[in-house]
Structure 1
Amino acid sequence: MSASVSSSLTGNVKPCFNSCKKTLLTEVETQLTTTDKKRLIHRLVYAAMTTQNSEVAITEYYRIYLSTLWKNTQADAVTGILLLYPNCIIHLIESSSEVLHMILKDLVDMESTDFPLKEVRILVLSHCVLRTFPSWCHHSVKVSLSLQDSTLLQQPVETLVTESLATIYKLCASLKDKKSKLGPEAQQQAFPLQDAVTTLCQSPVLCSPCKYLQTYTQPTNILMDSETVWPTQRRLYW
């Protein structure tokens, strides 16, 4: 992806997703004063590899799972979009932190089963955001997404994640506008490249759900500056 395209993507998504002009306290106060929100909303985006002809199974599973999750826990509704590629997926989910934690645990349980989701990688977990989608939906990406510029795969993983997220957020902004229609050429640029998604799923740099939960649920022992004795002890005799 060229620099001009990347900058244009970033410019287009700023009105909907750029919250740098607001402080976190301002965003939290805005959400707490909104009457139709029970908890703060967070956004999880992850990618995963799939097996062939598994689109129906994955879509039906999440349709039933998210509906059952909401009925049994009375938690906040789950909104977002599931992008289904021929051999991988990108899933964007918006809900409370409790619901996202249960979804991550469900992804961990899938690793020991024959469910068609494999090599799951967490792309980003954003906190205190505004909902983008009114409900949960899915979309099958049927356009040709073969990577023409092989130099993109040689870029760092951080660059691939940033450009993929920028493309997803631009897609969300386009779908949010009901009047906008994506033609064949627009769809070609609206969805992240399949080869880039495959590279992210195979990257050891990104966290799997199991590693992510272990990192953020286990206590961390930090040595404070006040616990360090200075000067260090020395032997006064030989």
Structure 2
Amino acid sequence: MSSNSSSGSSSPKMITHHVSEVVESNITLLDLFREGASEKLILQRLIVAGLLPTHSDDRKKHMTALATHFQKLDRQLRREFMFDRVTGLLLLFPTCLLHVVESSRDVLLSVLRNMQHLVESDLLEGSKVVLLIHDPLRRIFQQWSYKMMYVEQRPHDADADDEEENTDSLVSTVLEALEKLDEHLQESNGDVLPGTVLDEVQHLCVPPEVIHQLLERDMLLSAEEHLELYDSPIVLDLDAGMGPLSLSDNII
């Protein structure tokens, strides 16, 4: 379908010509709206960790309850943001979780608010925003899915390097695991779910002990802290030649 661009408004003749093209190609106005919406979507990738309650008597039951909750959240997001494609992967362990979501800023904010709600409802004991990537080159996942992981957690050495280096190294471990998982998914041409790949190649999974260490890092913001920072305005000195700026422009 051809398109006409102009610095000013389109003339009636141009509009009529464009509509005739739409009719001839059987493209609906909804298709055009979707096309415009997709062009405006700036893809972002959120990686957030959560700590499951330590007092849970039945961890498997709690994992199942969380899986059901996140499945409902996925359906809710697809209804509420019908033009913002939501993809990602939720890894559920007996003691923690790691959630990767790829979509628009509004969707990711909804995911963070949901994480905050889970903490306030005692379904999670805590959360940490591991990383937020603006405008990645492409998506890792073709859809949203979850995977329950029953793997043994290895104890970690609390006397390792200083916290800042440890945090950088831990985040790198998560990114490397996602990169390797992405490579395997690319080889399958998107025909298999990430959970199937993890069943076959378990070392691609982010180790739960790494997630626990990330949850202990004070330099990482919780979902609640991230949202508070997003909503908090900051006033800059007007004499410096800049007007008021909201932190939300840079946070997510």
TM-score (norm 2): 0.66
Q: What CA distance in whole angstroms lies between the structure 2 residues aligned with 1:79 and 1:208? A: 22
Q: Could you tell me which of 150, 170, 173 is aligned with 1:160?
A: 170
**2:221 paired with 1:220:** no
Cα 1:66–1:43 shift into 2, 3 Å: same
Cα contact 1:43–1:95 (8 A) shared by 2: yes
RMSD: 2.9
Q: What CA distance in whole angstroms lies between the structure 2 residues aligned with 1:196 and 1:177? A: 27
1:201 Cα deviation after fit: 0.9
Q: Could you tell me which of 15, 31, 49 is aligned with 1:47?
A: 49
- Aligned match of 1:208: 222
Cα 1:88–1:42 shift into 2, 3 Å: same
1:176 Cα deviation after fit: 3.6
Cα 1:121–1:107 shift into 2, 3 Å: same
Cα 1:213–1:184 shift into 2, 3 Å: closer
- Aligned match of 2:122: 114
Select the structure with the greater relative contact order (CA < 8 A; seq sep ≥ 6). 1
- Aligned match of 2:73: 65
- Aligned match of 1:175: 185
- Aligned match of 1:128: 135
The aligned amino acid for 1:134 is Q
1:46 Cα deviation after fit: 0.6
Cα contact 1:167–1:191 (8 A) shared by 2: yes
Gaps of 5+ in 1: 1-33, 228-238
Output one character per residue of 1:79-122: Cα deviation in whole Å (capped at 9) or x when no partner: 1111111211111001111111111122222232132x221100
1:167 Cα deviation after fit: 1.6
Gaps of 5+ in 2: 1-34, 54-58, 242-252
Output one character per residue of 1:27-81: Cα deviation in whole Å (capped at 9) or x when no partner: xxxxxxx889351211100111113222211111111111122213424121111
Cα contact 2:198–2:204 (8 A) shared by 1: no
Q: What does residue range 88-103 of structure 1 map to in structure 2 within 5 Å?
A: 88-103=96-111
1:182 Cα deviation after fit: 5.3
- Aligned match of 1:10: none
Q: What CA distance in whole angstroms lies between the structure 1 residues aligned with 2:210 and 2:159? A: 8
The aligned amino acid for 2:234 is T
- Secondary structure at the aligned position of 1:76 is classed as coil
TM-score (norm 1): 0.69
Q: How many residues align?
A: 191
Cα contact 2:91–2:98 (8 A) shared by 1: yes
Q: What CA distance in whole angstroms lies between the structure 2 residues aligned with 1:131 and 1:177? A: 15
Bigger-Rg structure (1/2): 2
Q: What does residue range 138-153 of structure 1 map to in structure 2 within 5 Å?
A: 138-147=146-155, 150=157
Cα contact 2:90–2:100 (8 A) shared by 1: yes
- Secondary structure at the aligned position of 1:157 is classed as helix
Q: What CA distance in whole angstroms lies between the structure 2 residues aligned with 1:124 and 1:159? A: 13
- Aligned match of 2:38: 37
Cα contact 1:49–1:118 (8 A) shared by 2: yes
Which has the larger displacement, 41-50 or 194-203? 194-203
